[in-house]
C-alpha cells in the first residue's frame, strides 16, 4: 500500500514520532505521564534517560494492559 497525504491517518503519523523524555529536570511523575501519553497515542518510541529505563518499561507494560 502506498501512502499519500490524502490517505495518512493520525496513527500513521504517530508511528513516525519518537517521544523524548531526556531533560535532566524531569521528575518521576513527569516521566511516567510521558510514557502513558506515548502509549495512548501509539507513538513509535519513547526515549528516556538511562536512570528512567526501568520506570519507562513498567509504565509501558501497565499502559498496554
| pLDDT tens digit sequence for 14-28 | 999 999 999 999 999
Residue with cell 523524555: 21
Residue with cell 503519523: 13
- Domain range list for the chain: 10-64
Closest by CA to 35, choosing from 24, 25, 48, is 48
- Which H helix or E strand runs over 60? helix 53-64
Tens digit of each residue's pLDDT, the chain (65 residues): 676 888 888 888 899 999 999 999 999 999 999 999 999 999 999 999 999 999 888 855 555 54
* Ramachandran bin of 50, using left for φ above 0, alpha for ψ from -120 to 50, beta for the remaining angles: alpha
Amino acid at each position: 500500500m502506498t501512502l499519500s497525504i490524502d490517505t495518512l491517518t493520525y496513527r500513521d503519523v504517530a508511528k513516525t514520532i519518537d517521544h523524548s523524555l531526556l531533560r535532566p529536570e524531569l521528575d518521576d511523575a513527569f516521566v511516567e505521564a510521558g510514557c502513558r501519553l506515548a502509549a495512548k497515542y501509539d507513538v513509535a518510541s519513547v526515549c528516556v534517560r538511562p536512570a528512567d529505563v526501568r520506570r519507562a518499561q513498567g509504565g509501558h507494560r501497565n499502559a498496554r494492559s
